[in-house]
Amino acid sequence: MTAGDEPQTVVRSCEGGEPRASARAEATAGATSKSPRDDNLSSTRRRSVLIIASAFPPTGGGGVQRTARFAKYLSRLGWRVHVWTTRGTPGLPVDESLLADVPPEVTVHRRDSFDVYSTLRSVRPGVGWRLAAPLRHILARSVPDERLWWALGSLRPLRRLVRSAGIDVIYSTFSPPSNHLLAWWMKRRTGVPWVADFRDLWTDDCTYRGRGIRRWMDRALETRFLRDADAVVAASESQRRILARRSSQRTARFHTITNGFDPDDFASPPPERERGTFVLTYVGALSSTRVDDTLIDGVADFARAVGDEQCAASPFRFDVVGVTSAALRERFQARGVPLSWSGYVEHAEAVRRMRAADVLLLPTAMGRNGDTLIPGKLFEYLASGRPILAVGDPEGEACRLVRRLGGGVTCERSAGAIRAALSELYRRRAGEGAASPSVRAGAARDLTEFSRAKLAEQLSDVLRGVCRMETCGHQMLRWRRADGQPATLRLA
């Protein structure tokens, strides 16, 4: 499909299997009996939200979960949900099982675009490659991300959708930046209020590597997003403060909504754990941003100590349930760590492996602002009921949360501390018996505040807040007219 083609719309039916009436008709129903202001402020009218996310099921990965579950539970809260996404995201896995969590009431619009990066990468060595290499370098320094071409191709059809579907509010998620860029463009062209979700920091993130003109451009774009969004959502309180400091205007617009877990994923009985082997499990992509020599040395020292104590061939094993590089695997194996890795697995299998682990490893991110990050997997770790070993700054967001909820053990990033923490958890496991399904009172921990349904309620409150009123220097009320065009009423 070219950039000028119409997007594919996946139309879901309503309950009972009957086709749903057009969103346009529903949005304008009853317009003759209520004024636009009454319609905007009504708490009973079913509102429409447009979610802009280039990665959405069946695309897999940790970052997809937050958006997909918001769509699921917002629809249960009475929102009419439209999702604008791509047909696939290069570099991210495919997990068809996640489609089961997209309710029939959610309408998903998928659009292809010309992927210039994939085209350049496909150029074979020779004259074409020599011409493509400089262009590849220029693009890497001048565009925010690879989804820019999708965002550019979406401008016209998405504007039509905003009008025809009677969209009340736009929600976009970072990353990639092009999600926010597209939402920002839509806000400017339609007047529909916009909520920008930063599930990760951008230029202040520990993984950000932009320099020179690239950093200047990203910083300027990020500042514009933070200034113009009607509300900004961060995934931790520390990150909310970092983002709020970047904007001197209306800091009350900044909210914290953490990641969470879906109780539906943990409804089945937990699996039995492996007998005779102490299994330390990490779920997710394991990279050098979380692993250093001290972590490897600490795990290796523990593995040797357990092997000497038990005089067994394999009393300990480190399982990586997810993607990791060959170089990182070799570093663990060179230090004598018994290691197994699975590559990417479907989400349901990842949850099953969490619940079958003896201990779940959570190395926090290293580098600038790494202590502000709460990995999304932590909440599923907690819901699994298995003990957690959190390695990193003891006063960082993730470690403090583990301690507050009694989820396991936290330790600083040193080989001795890691070995000691693993030894403590090993003794606990030996005392409870291999067949015990959960640690201590883990299954009874109250995690209600982190359920996806509860978090969606928080997001719903933010969305409704920006729907009602927007302050732009002077007080104005903004609503959607019956023809889908923005209109404003000056109040003061």
Q: Which domains does the chain have, with CATH numbers?
A: 8-260+453-490 (3.40.50.2000), 264-444 (3.40.50.2000)
pLDDT for the residue numbered 112: 82
Q: Before 57, cis peptide (omega within 30)?
A: no
Q: Which long-range contacts (CB under 8 A, 24 or more apart) does 8-17 make?
A: 8/87, 8/109, 8/110, 8/111, 9/107, 9/108, 9/109, 9/110, 10/107, 10/108, 10/109, 10/110, 11/107, 12/103, 12/104, 12/105, 12/106, 12/107, 12/108, 13/104, 14/104, 14/105, 15/104, 15/105
Q: Taking all residues of the chain, what is their mean pLDDT, rounded to a whole number?
A: 81
- Interval 198-227: pLDDT, tens: 999 999 998 888 888 889 999 999 999 999
Pick from 2-6, 166-170, 311-315, 434-438 the range whose average pLDDT is largest: 166-170
| 63 band by pLDDT with thresholds 50, 70 and 90 | confident
Nearest 5°: CA angle at 197, between 70 and 72?
5
- Computed over its alpha carbons, how large is the radius of gyration of the chain? 24
pLDDT for the residue numbered 99: 93
Region 453-482 average pLDDT: 69
Pick from 41-50, 227-236, 244-253 the range whose average pLDDT is largest: 227-236
Bridging pattern class, strands 169-174 and 107-110: unpaired
- Interval 306-351: pLDDT, tens: 876 655 545 899 999 999 999 999 999 999 999 999 999 999 999 9
- Interval 397-408: pLDDT, tens: 999 999 999 999
**The residue type at 53:** A
Higher pLDDT, 148 or 280: 280
How far apart are alpha carbons 256 and 199 in whole angstroms?
Answer: 10
Is pLDDT of 436 > 90?
no
Asked if residue 151 lies in contact with residue 175, where contact means CB atoms within 8 angstroms, the answer is no
Higher pLDDT, 416 or 431: 416
Higher pLDDT, 450 or 133: 450
Of 102, 10, 27, the C-alpha closest to 485 is 27
Cα–Cα separations (whole angstroms), residue 231 to 29, 47, 115, 143: 28, 17, 31, 25
